[in-house]
Amino acid sequence: ETGVTQTPRHLVMGMTNKKSLKCEQHLGHNAMYWYKQSAKKPLELMFVYSLEERVENNSVPSRFSPECPNSSHLFLHLHTLQPEDSALYLCASSQEGPDLAGGQFRNIQYFGAGTRLSVL
């Protein structure tokens, strides 16, 4: 258990569906991330939120829409996806800036187990 929880763990959707992936972190961190991991490709950074503001959008198609309502929650809204969007979607969090109490390192990313998405 890393303190970062992703739901659902598995998702199958058609190309016309709308679904959302959820990520919740219980670590008191101030930054959250979405990554995509396709088969036989390195992890690709999609979005970065720092202090609930989106600070990075790595040329991701508009059919992926992130939302960060507070520092503990991050969503990825999906609509009109393509089969090539099938992948493992990973969420991570980190503490950027001043150190946290309790010996946690700053700038270390803690990942969830991911959502395995299949688009039919």
Partner 1 sequence: DAKTTQPNSMESNEEEPVHLPCNHSTISGTDYIHWYRQLPSQGPEYVIHGLTSNVNNRMASLAIAEDRKSSTLILHRATLRDAAVYYCILRDDNAGNMLTFGGGTRLMVKP
Q: Which is nearer to partner 1, 17 or 37 (CB)?
A: 37
117, containing H or E segment: strand 115-119
Among 50, 71, 72, 86, binds partner 1 (CB under 8 A): 50
Cβ neighbours of 92 (radius 10 Å): 24
- Residue 75 as a binder of partner 1 (CB under 8 A): the answer is no
| Residues of span 10-39 touching partner 1 by CB under 8 A | 31, 35
Q: At a CB cut-off of 8 Å and minimum separation 6, what does 62 contact?
A: none
| Residues of span 92-111 touching partner 1 by CB under 8 A | 92, 94, 96, 105, 107-111
What SS3 state is found at 85?
helix
Residue written as tokens 């507070």? Answer: 70
Residue written as tokens 């939302």? Answer: 67
Binding site for partner 1 (CB under 8 A): 2, 4, 31, 35, 42-45, 48, 50, 55-56, 90-92, 94, 96, 105, 107-114
